[in-house]
Amino acid sequence: MIVTPALRHATAGAAVLLFVLSVPTTAASAPVAPASPASAASAASAASSVAEPTPPARSFVDPARLDRSGTQVQPLRGAPRLPSVSALSWVVADAGTGEVLAARDAHRPLPPASTLKTLFALTALPHHDGTERHTVSDAELTGIGEGSSLVGVKEGYTYTVSDLWNGVFLSSGNDAVHVLAAMNGGWESMTRQMQEKARALGARDTHVVSPDGYDAPGQVSSAYDLAVFGRAGLQDPRFTRYCSTRYADFPAGSSSFGIANTNRLLTGADGVSRYPGLLGIKNGYTSNAGNTLVVGARRGARTLVVSVMNPQGGGGLAVYEEARELLDWGFDAAGRIQPVGSLKPAKAPRKEAPLPVRAAARNVTRAGAEAADATTPAAPVGHDRHQQATPSGKAAGLPLALVGSALGAALSLWLWRRFGARAD
């Protein structure tokens, strides 16, 4: 085959064009002078000055520690001595962080008495505005346990929802609980709702049978769960307002009468000194449960929650004095205690998609890749394909297309000159 000058020129032009197009367009147009050792050291120093500082090492908290029996505490240098209390079970925790500072038999299942009303309030409070008015029916007051504490709710009387909550928190009124439960789906429905709420909060020891806390077979909670409920309640302004109210007027038809909170640490009744900064929460008592108590207190920017279940000595008021000692210890131990657990629910592990779903996703990805231009390189994860210096996709095939076109044009010109002229 004779190569004409036209073909040689076309081939040379195509080669030049190929060389030009193969040069990356992102190359720097001006030469960069090599950095001197001094400037390199200066750049390294500047980079290190703006880098994110290394966070302090986090102390390890054994998640199973609170499952152990006995007292759990990890004091640091200078920590105050933990008080000796007689309660079967107790917890001291930071209400802000959820850190458990110390505990004894935190998950021991015990009857909660009226401290279970904390869970009732967490479940039912969001459903009705405090100003809503409700007239009580006879059916709503049936089934109240014998010997229950009552606030004095009467059939046919009209109360605001706020009045009923005062009856729950201040007088521990089981009659008020029954009315509010009826307004929220009924007794059985409320039992199920409370159980679901407990699990959602990470409280695994609580089994609800009677929403008012009245003794019932199988009904238990734990010092850990009660601390969880108390902490959650303090995050709700309505809950906090009700549980920290010392005195209120309760309607009685055309008149009213005064009621006082039965939490002695809050009111200072019966010779129990009021605790500074106390936020209340809930106390309880039954012959089966003994005395139980959940309290919160604030000192400065710190809030603690303490739960105490069934003290074994000191009489009926010992639950308040033991809670006082544990609160004092918790505030004094600030910064000098390693936590032994947390009131926050454990995070659920991330679930992978089922194998058939993942296989289908891989097939779709593979099919898409096969349909793409074979010259397209894969983009790095997390980077935009358009930010790469290397040409990709159709852009990568552009030089070959131009060369092919140039060669085709040159060949056509040569054939025309050789054969087309003879045909004339």
Specify the residue for token string 């947390």.
342
* pLDDT score for 37: 44
* pLDDT score for 351: 52
* pLDDT score for 409: 60
User: Angle at the Cα of 330 (from 84 to 338), degrees rounded to 5?
Assistant: 100
Specify the residue for token string 């935009």.
384
Residues in the chain: 424
Q: Supply 424's token pair.
A: 């004339």
Cα dist from 179 to 143, 155, 165, 244, 324, whole Å: 11, 10, 10, 22, 34
Of the listed 117, 149, 171, 342, which one is catalytic? 117
- Model confidence over 239-261: pLDDT tens digits? 999 999 999 999 998 899 999 99
* pLDDT score for 346: 76
Query: What is the number of H-type helices and E-type strands within the chain?
Result: 13, 12
DSSP, collapsed to helix, strand or coil, labels residue 413 as helix
Q: Is 114 an annotated catalytic residue? A: yes
Of the listed 149, 162, 171, 172, which one is catalytic? 172
Specify the residue for token string 């229950």.
148
d(C-alpha 375, C-alpha 395), whole Å: 9
Q: Which pTM was predicted? A: 0.70
Of the listed 89, 114, 162, 342, which one is catalytic? 114
The pLDDT averaged over each successive group of 10 residues in the chain (424 residues) is 47 45 43 44 38 44 84 95 97 97 98 98 97 97 94 97 98 98 97 98 97 96 98 97 98 94 97 97 97 97 97 94 98 95 77 49 46 41 37 46 57 57 42
A 10 A CB-CB count for 50 gives 6
Q: Supply 58's token pair.
A: 């986090």
A 10 A CB-CB count for 5 gives 8
d(C-alpha 342, C-alpha 346), whole Å: 9
Q: Is 117 an annotated catalytic residue? A: yes
* pLDDT score for 411: 63
Of 274, 280, 357, nearest in space to 321 by CA:
274
d(C-alpha 262, C-alpha 342), whole Å: 29
d(C-alpha 113, C-alpha 323), whole Å: 17
* pLDDT score for 130: 96
Per DSSP, 416 falls in state I
